[in-house]
Structure 1
Amino acid sequence: MVFATLRFLATGSIYSVVGEICGVDKATSCRAIDKVITAISELHHEFISMPTNLDEISEIRQGFYNICKFPRCIGALDCTHVRIQSPGGENAELFRNRKGFFSFNVQALCDSELIIRNVVCRWQGSAHDANIFKNSRLRARLENKDFGADSLIVGDSGYGIKNYLITPLANPHTPAEQLFNEAQIRTRNPIERCFGVWKRRFPILSLGIRQNIRKIERIIITTAILHNIACLMRDQLPQVNDEEEAAIVITNNVEIPIQQPMNAANVNNLTRHLLITEYFQRLL
């Protein structure tokens, strides 16, 4: 059952093909894979979690600081598209993203070791990254300062600047601003690498999930759990073929910058301004 499930996640094959390899019929293969995916996905609280104590927060901060001396960072945030087949029905077009294919827009936050700390995989491909984050429990926990009063996460310009979510400057001018942008971009890089590694380990995420839409969330969560286990065990990256590599590039998410109301932008820009003037200026 486990072998059939891993084969399914690694190839995205239909149940009958996986069943032939394992020597069972399509129905048996379907039942076995569904049972294993359900069992693994129910372990998400154990393997996908934000830091829970000061020591763990400090360790994650140090990991990001070691990349490019960006302070107080506990996570890199972004979204990626997971290709699916058309779900059919009246709402099918909600799943068509701006690149023209059907997908789930999956939000993830990882640490510097590429371990997924938070994942949201219930939004259609047409959903904007910023809207997914706005409606997430992660945002509420950050606003409640559950991970420390001064902890930060980093994201790209598809997100609005917040006092806990730091985005890059659109047009850096001074040396301190340029240094800040370089550090912010390099500190954000782990989430891009995480998506690449995640999809290489489980090509079903990039080649396409051909399953009933009700099963897709459990499949994504299962691959995230297995990815984290592989990271913890220092598993080597698998070889990928040209088709898989092309699919990973196509499903990479690049969001259009959003415009915030001027009063909100000014308030939230203060944290970024202080980082530049009181921290990165001193590094020059």
Structure 2
Amino acid sequence: MDESFLLMLSNLLHLHNSLDPSTSLLSSASSTPSSSSVTSSSPSSSLLSTSSAAPLLFFTLASLLSFLACSKPNNKNRKSGSSPRPAPPANGAYTVAVFQSLSNDWTSAPLRDAQWRALYGLSYPVFTKIVEKLNPHIAASNLSLPSDFAVSMVLFRLAHGYSAKSLASRYNLEPYLISKITNMVTRLLATKLYPEYVKIPASKRRLNEVTLAFEELTSLPNMCGAIDGTPIKLRSFPTNESNLYRCEYGYPALQLQVVSDHKKMFWDVCVKAPGAVDDATHFRDSLLYNRLVSDDIVWDKVINVRGHHVRPYVVGDWCYPLMAFLMTPFSPNGSGSPAQNLFDGMLMKGRSVVVDAIGLLKSRWRILQDLDVGLSHAPQTIVACCVLHNVCQQMREPEPDVWREPDETAAPARVLESEKSFHYFGDSLRQALADDLHHRLSSR
């Protein structure tokens, strides 16, 4: 059933319970509606007394909404800017009391989860899990608001992309307080929850799971991840450094670099460069690059391919330097040999998981489509959204339509003098993998 229809139906059920509690479809015969579900905008007393009209009104409206939901066009693979934000609710419409009523006054989990996803980008069980993990840290901050209400407010902002000023009327709070709570919650997500949900596949069990899944997808052995970068559009940036922040698409941005596994979960996240910096430079400035170059990451899985010892490697497009631990295509235009072109096709098939993961990230947390926070808090907000993305993937939340960006047009990365030995071994390993792949597939 369409999620938006579930949301509308849930609102109708609340209306129906208010009009005629004795005929509630979801409540048992012994249950009574919660008094907290009736807000200041409750129906008039004369309408409440006319209980006989309630069932007819409910089913008439439900039938109409069902027809509209069925006739709604299916908008797959949204393009940039094609999904308008919903209008904020009326002034002071979302107090702590209203939130608690929404949390408690439910008898149907699917309807509650539909409402939660529409508001906060994730289901109620995932929401409660996040609150449970953040609650000790929020409680220690002596915040005057309940932890679950504070987290819900931040999730609403991240899911819909509103500024603190635009949310002030919804929550009846000052914009500075909304910004303060947003900064606190995103900082906790980016620091306290990051180590738990963003992990390099270092254990033998996890590494085998990832490499075997990528091999099933691409026929390439020992692939352990796919890397890519994406610009995060900024509202606030230093005007005297506008050229430094202007990305290839023409708008001011910060660069986000992620490495994804086969489940579209990020196992490394880096936000260290303004928008004008290219992917290769951002990669070289990352902690991941330094750990790979220094052999700080120990991957206990080595295979032999045509006499070459192949350790686990990441794949990326030609914007990244070819290294022993980072495989890139032979050619961006298919001008290689048959074996090389076959390898390029399979490599890009593996790389597609990180493209989809970034698309899901920006679709779930729409604030990343136009980041309206202070520049000093922008990196932690981006990382917090990546953590939330991993929580959703781990909890198997439904995946929304993927946000799509234009194809990259950057030139192939050049090789630095300090990288020549890594590049030499990478080139040798890549050719061995390509020849082995061509031999195995052509002999079938």
Q: Could you tell me the TM-score, scaled by structure 2's length?
A: 0.59
Task: Tell me the residue number matched to 1:260.
Answer: 415
Task: Tell me the residue number matched to 1:36.
Answer: 185
The yes-or-no answer on 1:213 pairing with 2:363 is no
- Match among 87, 90, 110 for residue 237 of structure 2: 87
The one-character-per-residue Cα deviations of 1:82-104 (angstroms, maximum 9, x if unpaired) are 00024125333211113221001
- Check whether the contact 1:172–1:181 (CA below 8 A) recurs between aligned residues: no
SS at match of 2:320: coil
The one-character-per-residue Cα deviations of 1:32-79 (angstroms, maximum 9, x if unpaired) are 222211221212111111013111111110121121211101110010
- Check whether the contact 1:12–1:210 (CA below 8 A) recurs between aligned residues: yes
SS at match of 2:435: helix
Task: Tell me the residue number matched to 2:157.
Answer: 8
Distance across 2 between alignment mates of 1:270 and 1:37: 43
Distance across 2 between alignment mates of 1:133 and 1:78: 9
- Match among 295, 299, 303 for residue 147 of structure 1: 299
| Cα displacement (A) at 1:30 | 2.1
- Match among 385, 405, 409 for residue 249 of structure 1: 405
| Cα displacement (A) at 1:219 | 0.2
- Check whether the contact 2:272–2:282 (CA below 8 A) recurs between aligned residues: no
The yes-or-no answer on 1:237 pairing with 2:392 is no
Show structure 1 runs of 5+ residues with no match: none
Instruction: Say what the alpha-carbon RMSD is for the aligned residues.
Output: 2.1
- Match among 12, 29, 46 for residue 196 of structure 2: 46
Q: Which has the larger radius of gyration?
A: 2
For the structure 1 residues 279 and 253, does the alpha-carbon distance in structure 2 shift closer, same or farther, using more than 3 Å as the test? closer
SS at match of 1:112: coil
Task: Tell me the residue number matched to 2:281.
Answer: 131
SS at match of 1:127: coil
Number of residue equivalences = 276
Task: Tell me the residue number matched to 1:159.
Answer: 320
- Check whether the contact 1:47–1:225 (CA below 8 A) recurs between aligned residues: yes
The yes-or-no answer on 1:176 pairing with 2:339 is yes
What does 1:62-101 correspond to in 2, within 5 Å?
62-101=212-251
User: Which of 124-133 and 41-50 deviates more?
Assistant: 41-50
Show structure 2 runs of 5+ residues with no match: 1-149, 303-310
The one-character-per-residue Cα deviations of 1:208-232 (angstroms, maximum 9, x if unpaired) are 1122111001100110000000001
- Check whether the contact 2:255–2:273 (CA below 8 A) recurs between aligned residues: yes
Identity of aligned residues (%): 22
Letter in 2 for 1:135: D
- Check whether the contact 1:4–1:19 (CA below 8 A) recurs between aligned residues: no
SS at match of 1:91: helix
- Check whether the contact 2:197–2:387 (CA below 8 A) recurs between aligned residues: yes
Distance across 1 between alignment mates of 2:159 and 2:280: 30
Distance across 1 between alignment mates of 2:237 and 2:408: 21
The one-character-per-residue Cα deviations of 1:102-134 (angstroms, maximum 9, x if unpaired) are 001111000010001001112100111011111
Distance across 2 between alignment mates of 1:261 and 1:3: 47
For the structure 1 residues 91 and 66, does the alpha-carbon distance in structure 2 shift closer, same or farther, using more than 3 Å as the test? same
The one-character-per-residue Cα deviations of 1:147-185 (angstroms, maximum 9, x if unpaired) are 245111100011121111111111454432232121111
The yes-or-no answer on 1:195 pairing with 2:358 is yes
For the structure 1 residues 236 and 71, does the alpha-carbon distance in structure 2 shift closer, same or farther, using more than 3 Å as the test? same
Task: Tell me the residue number matched to 2:390.
Answer: 228
Distance across 1 between alignment mates of 2:241 and 2:327: 34
Task: Tell me the residue number matched to 1:273.
Answer: 431
Distance across 2 between alignment mates of 1:89 and 1:17: 23
Letter in 2 for 1:257: P
Specify which structure has the bigger relative contact order, considering alpha-carbon pairs within 8 angstroms and separated by 6 or more residues: 1
The one-character-per-residue Cα deviations of 1:189-220 (angstroms, maximum 9, x if unpaired) are 101001110000011111x1122111001100
For the structure 1 residues 261 and 27, does the alpha-carbon distance in structure 2 shift closer, same or farther, using more than 3 Å as the test? closer
User: Which of 132-141 and 151-160 deviates more?
Assistant: 132-141
- Check whether the contact 1:95–1:103 (CA below 8 A) recurs between aligned residues: yes
SS at match of 1:180: helix
- Check whether the contact 1:115–1:194 (CA below 8 A) recurs between aligned residues: yes
- Check whether the contact 1:81–1:103 (CA below 8 A) recurs between aligned residues: yes
Distance across 2 between alignment mates of 1:136 and 1:130: 10
